Amino acid sequence: MRFLHTSDWHLGRSFHREDLLAAQAAFVDHLVETVRAEKVDCVLVSGDVYDRALPAVDAVRLCNEALERLSGLTRVVLIAGNHDSARRLGFGSALMDAAGVHVRTDFAKVGEPVVIGDAAVYGIPYLEPELVRHSWELDERSHAATLAEAMRRVRDDAARRPGLRSVVLAHAFVTGGEASESERDISVGGSSTVPASVFEGVDYAALGHLHGAWSVTGGPGRVRYSGSPLAYSFSEERHVKGSWLVDLRDDGLAAEFVEAPVPRRVARIRGRLDDLLTDPGKAKYEDRWLQITITDPRRPSNAMERVRRRFPHALVLGFEPEGAEAGAARTWSERVRERSELDIAGDFVAEVTDGPASAAERALLHEAFEACRRKEAAV
């Protein structure tokens, strides 16, 4: 059996106001051609098909085109990610099954596989702990507990199918993975990480959520992230984008990474403005989307206008003067990047009340965030 593992398309997403739909369409062309050339038996799409729960019309049109083209060549199994609306993405899924496109968005059906050749393919959509723990009677509210229960159901079903290999799609943050700035934090709904050991016993686990391609388990790599097909943040400047071509053989597993086309590379550079504008070594950045940090002691006038004369695709311009107190010139997004919503809200309470948030206030804030999380997940 040959699978092509991809995820995190985020159709409809822009990059600092740059429209990426044409680049996403080019990726779809590449995906279809890879399926045709490599004679792929099934495409696995591990969540975050869209960038938001209510995707733009053009994004829906591109998704429809992608699935229609793929269904003419192979089978497709697709799950909902944390950016998707499970209800909307799952509309018409029973009808699409007949066309060989298997959309799995219902957590209650995680133990019901799609059988393709000699493999049972189980789709586990993104599981919001608060939304499933009561139905599944879980004592612990965490992503680890939720996914462990889903995998228990998968293993119970797989045990009744001797002779079939087992493949799992899941959308989660597995321990040891390296996050980028473009993934949405999922920690409010309980502890966000899950151990790779939760996938023990399956022949292959096709993961989505993290945007870098990565073999979680090393070696033969039974548990892998395909990453996103495009860079969606400057923190992904060193990522190589693409999909995993996975062969389940009688003697084990083999995986090859298939690089995707890159419309324009991203990079981060820093230095004094005059140096950046005159350094011959910076010529390689002239055609890239750039995040530039100016380090002059004083903020230069008309900096972005001057920067774009040499670097026409500069998108973000920051200012961190040399010798300034550490952190003094950091932007708001940089200051809060590694902090939870609850901590940020607690800082606001402290700012307006001249004192730290009380335990009762933090509990109320947590309840509010949970309510928002449940409302968004139920859309």
pLDDT tops 80 at residue 276: yes
**Mean pLDDT along residues 114-135:** 95
**Mean pLDDT along residues 31-53:** 98
pLDDT tops 90 at residue 198: yes
Return the pLDDT at 249: 92
Phi and psi torsions of 293, nearest 5°: -115, 120
Domain boundaries, given as residue ranges, for the chain: 2-259, 266-336, 341-377
Radius of gyration of the chain (CA): 23
Query: What is the C-alpha separation between 20 and 349, in angstroms, rounded?
Result: 38
Count Cβ atoms below 10 Å from residue 166 Cβ, excluding itself. Answer: 22
pLDDT tops 80 at residue 73: yes
CB 277 within 8 A of CB 286: no
Q: Which residues of 136-162 are buried (b: 16+ CB within 10 A; e: fewer)?
A: beeeebbbbbbbbbbbebbbebbeeee
Return the pLDDT at 162: 93
Return the pLDDT at 337: 58
Band (pLDDT 50/70/90 cuts) for residue 24 is very high
Return the pLDDT at 101: 98
**Mean pLDDT along residues 135-151:** 93
Q: pLDDT tens digit string along 295-351?
A: 999 999 999 999 999 999 999 999 999 876 655 555 556 666 556 777 788 778 776
Return the pLDDT at 343: 77
Band (pLDDT 50/70/90 cuts) for residue 8 is very high
pLDDT tops 80 at residue 115: yes
**Mean pLDDT along residues 230-248:** 96
DSSP letter for 297, please. Answer: S
Return the pLDDT at 355: 64
3-state SS, residue 366? helix
Averaged pLDDT score across all residues of the chain = 90
pLDDT tops 90 at residue 205: yes
Return the pLDDT at 187: 53
- Select the CATH number that applies to the domain covering 2-259 from these four: 3.40.50.11890, 3.60.21.10, 3.30.70.100, 3.30.1330.40: 3.60.21.10
Query: What is the C-alpha separation between 161 and 140, in angstroms, rounded?
Result: 30
Return the pLDDT at 316: 96
Tokens 């159901």 belong to residue: 153
Q: pLDDT tens digit string along 166-192?
A: 999 999 999 865 556 655 655 544 457
Query: What is the C-alpha separation between 195 and 144, in angstroms, rounded?
Result: 7
Three-class secondary structure assignment of 68-117: HHHHCCCEEEEECCCCCCHHHHCCCHHHHHCCCEEEECCHHHCCCCEEEC
Return the pLDDT at 372: 79
256 CB contacts (<8 Å, ≥6 apart)? 244, 245
Overall pTM surpassing 0.85 (yes/no):
no
